Chain A
Amino acid sequence: MAESRWWQYFKPNIFDPGEDLQSTDRYRLLRRNIVVLMMLVTIIPLTLMAVINYHQYRSSLTDEIINPMRLLTSKTKHSFELFLEEKLSTVRFITSAYPVETLANEKNLNRIFRVLKKEFGGFVDLGLIDCKGIQVSYAGPYDLLAKDYSDQAWYHEVTIRGTYVSDVFMGYRNFPHIAIAVQLGNEECDNWVLRATIDTSLFDNLIAAMGLDAESDAFLINDKGVFQTNSKFYGKVLEKCPFLPPPGNYGIHIEEEMDPKGREVIVVYTHLENFCCNLVMVKPKSVVLKTWFTLKSEMFFIFIIGTIFILLTIFKMTGVLVKKTRDADERRELAFRELEHAHKLSSIGRLAAGVAHEINNPLAVINEKAGLMKDLLERAEPFDKKEKFMEVTASIQKSVERCKTITHRLLGFARRMEVQFELLDVNDVIREVLGFLEKEYLYRGIEIRLELDENLPQISSDLGQLQQVFLNILTNSFSAVEDNGLVIIRTWEEDPETLGVSIEDNGCGMSKETLDQIFEPFFTTKKGYGTGLGLAITYGIVQKLGGRLKVESQEGEGTIFYVFLRKAPPSNTGELR
């Protein structure tokens, strides 16, 4: 399958880092691989999400914060435009309402100027300039009559464009104002100009009306970047502004800049129509994006905490997972080894049974032949060496008897062992078995010390098999101890489901190598008279009864056999061949 192939390609590298590696390395690698994989699949999406969120929030927040600035700037711009337009309209109205001749009369001009000042305010002076650029009439605080403007740039601009609004200038009284000039004419000449000067202190009122916070600033600059109004932070009128507006008529322009004080600021530029001027609003980013910075740090905090939690979880879980895998592997291996052992026992058992059976038949023949010889000898008349013959036949029969014991044990080892469960008192079973061996231990002066738990609950087990187990172990213990040795038998309740029996001797003990082999069939240290089957059979029986067998031994100090028996029979009371 194509879809499983790519996965197959990756999987072995990640989850099975090499069968041939040392097992600790293998689990370490497995752990590392899982940790890396889990980190990749969790941290990457989290990071991606955080980054996307960051940008999205940033853009939406920026919009949300910058939009009001844009709006405010736009409104103020309109106020300025309205203000200027109004002044311009007023001057235009005068040029339309009065003929040049009327305006040229200083008395009339003064009267109009007075009305202007009274009704509109902000006007500083009013003057009429004739076709040659000479001021022919003037109303206002200065003595500017007959002043020649013909070589001034603004005069020429008015004659070309019809109207003109000047940049701010300081004038004679040293306060900032602007000049508005409108072209008008009579029959002789079109290039008369009515010029009015307006006090720009009114601009400050418009800016104050924006209601800016203490950190923010707003001011007018001309296209060359010269202040037209005072700025809170960046300079006075006619000084050079650190911010330069974009060229041309651009509507609203927003820029993030660094101000001379080194603060990051957001600057909103807007160009005033019909007036070579730009309204600039400056807000420090720290103020504008205060919410954003708070949110950003919160997001960062959540990200870090989340990452730490994920990492902790990954490490903890992977640790548990790998440990469980390892335990399961070990249990499987152990089970496999036990199964192997059981298989070995069973195949050796079958082989032994085959051999024993083959030997048993000729042995029966020898037995009968020797028996017949004995019968005949017993019935015969006394003859030379009759006694010797009798002796020899008896010896043959004795040897046959020994062989028979061995073949029967071999066959017994291999035969199907059926188990019959009944309620037993383990202490009684032990006492009974000791009864069988009484002659031997009394004769050899072996001390038997019983430390039996008299409150031991009864268990469900097979009497015969259990007797066999204790008999085999005790026989071993007796052959391990010297005459006058000590054997201690203990019983106790190991846990609610298990009883423990230990048989301890102070005999010769066993080496590590011997200990490893004692349950192997045909392994014996009793050179000459052991079959090597006793403990193998014991092992098989205990297994079959659902129990466990454990041995501890110290060479030269003694051996302890532990038998752990289940109180209830195992669910699978299968037979072992």
Chain B
Amino acid sequence: MRERTLLLVDDEVEFVQTLAERLQLRGFQVYIAHDGDEALIQLEKSRFDMVILDVMMPGLGGLDVLKQMKPIYPETPVILLTGRGSTNDGIEGMRLGARDYLMKPINIDELIKKIGENLNAT
């Protein structure tokens, strides 16, 4: 089975790098984008098996990225990360086409479980 590619988008450098490393340890090929624009550029360059998208980012937010990529890459599953402790962003995201959402700080096992569920679905 080929390595699954994930695009991890978050403006918090420490967070995104550490999480990327932990996902790599679990056998994923992880690409990083630090903001919405960078994420869209990366999405243009290559295809990913899944995008993990932070909602709260300066500039282009997670939900904006979701809105822009969904018509172009409707097949790519998206999982949202929200830091506001509210289910609203998650629900709004799912309405826009995200597969699922998680609240930060995240539990890695939960994330792996959700990734597994949504990758199998494709």
Contacts and interface: CB of A to CB of B under 8 A. Distances in A.
B44 interface: no
Interface in A354-378: 356-357, 360-361, 363-369, 371-372, 375-376
Contacts of A360: 83-85, 104-105
Contacts of A410: 85
A399 to B, nearest CB: 11
Interface stretch (A266-274, A384-392, A400-408, A455-463): A400-408
A445 interface: no
Contacts of B18: 365, 368-369, 371-372
Contacts of A376: 25
Contacts of A366: 105
Nearest to B86: A415
A97 B65 CA distance: 154
B85 A408 contact: yes
A411 interface: yes
B21 interface: yes
B85 A363 contact: no
A304 to B, nearest CB: 75
B86 A364 contact: no
B22 A367 contact: no
B19 interface: yes
Contacts of A400: 105
Given A360-B85, A372-B25, A411-B84, 16 more contacts: A356-B85, A357-B85, A360-B104, A360-B105, A361-B12, A361-B104, A364-B15, A365-B12, A368-B14, A368-B15, A368-B18, A368-B22, A372-B22, A375-B22, A412-B85, A416-B86
B14 to A, nearest CB: 5
A367 B106 CA distance: 8
Given A365-B12, A379-B25, A371 B85 contact: no
A351 B57 CA distance: 20
Interface of B: 12, 14-15, 18-19, 21-22, 25, 83-86, 88, 103-106, 108
A177 B19 CA distance: 153
Contacts of B21: 372
A375 B85 contact: no
Given A415-B88, A416-B88, A361 B25 contact: no
Interface in A333-370: 353, 356-357, 360-361, 363-369
Nearest to B89: A415
A514 B84 CA distance: 32
A415 B85 contact: yes
Contacts of B12: 361, 364-365
Contact of A364 (B22, B25, B88, B104): B104
A367 B81 CA distance: 14
A365 B15 contact: yes
Nearest to B25: A375
A365 B14 contact: yes
A424 to B, nearest CB: 21
Contacts of B103: 408
8 smallest CB-CB distances across A and B, nearest first, come from A411-B85, A367-B105, A368-B18, A364-B105, A364-B104, A415-B86, A408-B85, A365-B14
Which among B12, B14, B104 has the highest number of chain A CB atoms within 10 Å?
B104
Contacts of A411: 84-86
B2 to A, nearest CB: 22
Interface in A457-479: none
Contacts of A372: 18, 21-22, 25
A364 B83 contact: yes
Nearest to A412: B85
Nearest to B21: A372
A369 B21 CA distance: 10
Contact of B19 (A368, A404, A412): A368
B87 to A, nearest CB: 8
A371 to B, nearest CB: 5
Contacts of A404: 105
Interface string A225-268: 00000000000000000000000000000000000000000000
Which among B25, B86, B103, B105 has the highest number of chain A CB atoms within 10 Å?
B105
A412 B86 contact: yes
Contacts of A415: 84-86, 88
Contacts of A367: 105-106
B88 to A, nearest CB: 7
Nearest to B10: A364
B80 to A, nearest CB: 14
A575 to B, nearest CB: 11
Nearest to B18: A368
Which among A357, A366, A368, A375 has the highest number of chain B CB atoms within 10 Å?
A368
29 contacts: A353-B84, A353-B85, A357-B83, A357-B84, A357-B85, A360-B105, A361-B12, A361-B83, A363-B105, A365-B14, A365-B18, A366-B105, A368-B18, A368-B19, A368-B22, A368-B105, A369-B18, A372-B22, A372-B25, A375-B25, A400-B105, A404-B105, A408-B103, A411-B86, A412-B85, A415-B84, A415-B85, A415-B86, A416-B86
A376 B22 CA distance: 9
B106 A407 contact: no
A239 B122 CA distance: 147
B15 A407 contact: no
B49 to A, nearest CB: 21
B82 to A, nearest CB: 10
Nearest to A366: B105
Which among A361, A407, A415 has the highest number of chain B CB atoms within 10 Å?
A361
A256 to B, nearest CB: 99
Nearest to B19: A368
Contacts of A416: 86, 88
A363 B15 CA distance: 10
Which among B12, B19, B85, B86 has the highest number of chain A CB atoms within 10 Å?
B85
A413 to B, nearest CB: 9
A371 B22 CA distance: 8
Which among A357, A366, A367 has the highest number of chain B CB atoms within 10 Å?
A367
